[in-house]
Amino acid sequence: MRPSLAARVLAVPAIIVFLALSNVDATVVTTCKAAAESDKRVDYNFCVLELSKHQDSPDADTWGLAKVATEAGGGDAGNAVADVNTLLNKAGTDAKTRGALLQCQKLYHDVEFAFAGAYDSLNDRNYAGGKQEVGLATSLAHKCDDAFAKIAVPSQLTKYSLYTMKIAAICTAITNLIKLLPSADNNTLVSYYFCVSELSKYNGSDDADTWVLAKLAAKAGAGKEANAEFELCQKMYGDVGSTFLHARDNINHRKYAAGKEQVMLGVYLTQKM
């Protein structure tokens, strides 16, 4: 005998059932928006532009985008080293400038290593360690600017320190979003009766397994948020509704880990409304 819908709802992980309450996909746009709202140092347009360039961004969750930011920072630091090498080989470089460039060469090598260390820390869910490493990267980049300031020579590398500062702020803000999200295991967030009531409205829910029920929850949320589009809330709820559909797609592709991060980001964003 097939279990009742109520019994199967109890079998769905709490974080998946919670899709029926509030969901936002951890896309680059919504994550950068949340990061900018939580940290005034974050340049929203820069965040979207830079994170969108990475091949992993379309499928990344919040945690993944924090790591993408470290890779962007490391890549730019590598470009700085290449630029320094070009300047060192340029004819006519005076001794003072050459000395500053040599300092910057080492500093940006260290910046690159700091971002690599941040990636490793974040990958291990060591958020405090990751933030410490990106903070170090910013400090090292500023030391390059200081090296030129001391000899009163305009630096040709300030664009790299600016980039480092901006991408480090983005990485830190996104990492903080992960820490601010409610626990995925907090079962008190799920209203059992609400869940049964809402999922029962869909044709086929009586014969659905837990995977299908999770997708129905995402569909329900998209419908609810789409109906909320009015006046000043129109744009924000439009984003929520569209990203809700992305959450359903992730579940459909069995991307459960991404789904959990997306749901928790949704909780944070809806609290900001």
pLDDT of residue 132: 97
Confidence tier at 257 by pLDDT (50, 70, 90): low
Residues 48-96: pLDDT tens digits? 999 999 988 888 889 999 999 999 999 999 999 999 999 999 888 899 9
CA angle 193, 239, 230 (to 5 degrees): 80
Whether 47 contacts 172, CB under 8 Å: no
Confidence band of 208 (pLDDT split at 50, 70, 90): low
- The answer to whether the beta carbons of residues 246 and 27 sit under 8 Å apart is yes
Please state at what angle helix 28-38 crosses helix 256-272, rounded to 10 degrees.
40
CA dihedral 12, 190, 180, 129 (to 10 degrees): -30
How far apart, in whole angstroms, are the C-alpha atoms of residue 82 and residue 130? Answer: 25
At residue 9, the pLDDT reads 47
Question: Which domains are present in the chain?
Answer: 28-180 (1.20.140.40), 186-271 (no CATH)
In the chain, the percentage of residues whose pLDDT exceeds 70 is: 56
Helix intervals (H) in 227-272: 234-252, 256-272
What is the per-residue pLDDT across 95-150, written as a single tens digit (0 to 9) for each?
Answer: 999 999 999 999 999 999 999 999 999 999 999 999 999 999 999 999 999 999 99
Region 149-157 average pLDDT = 94
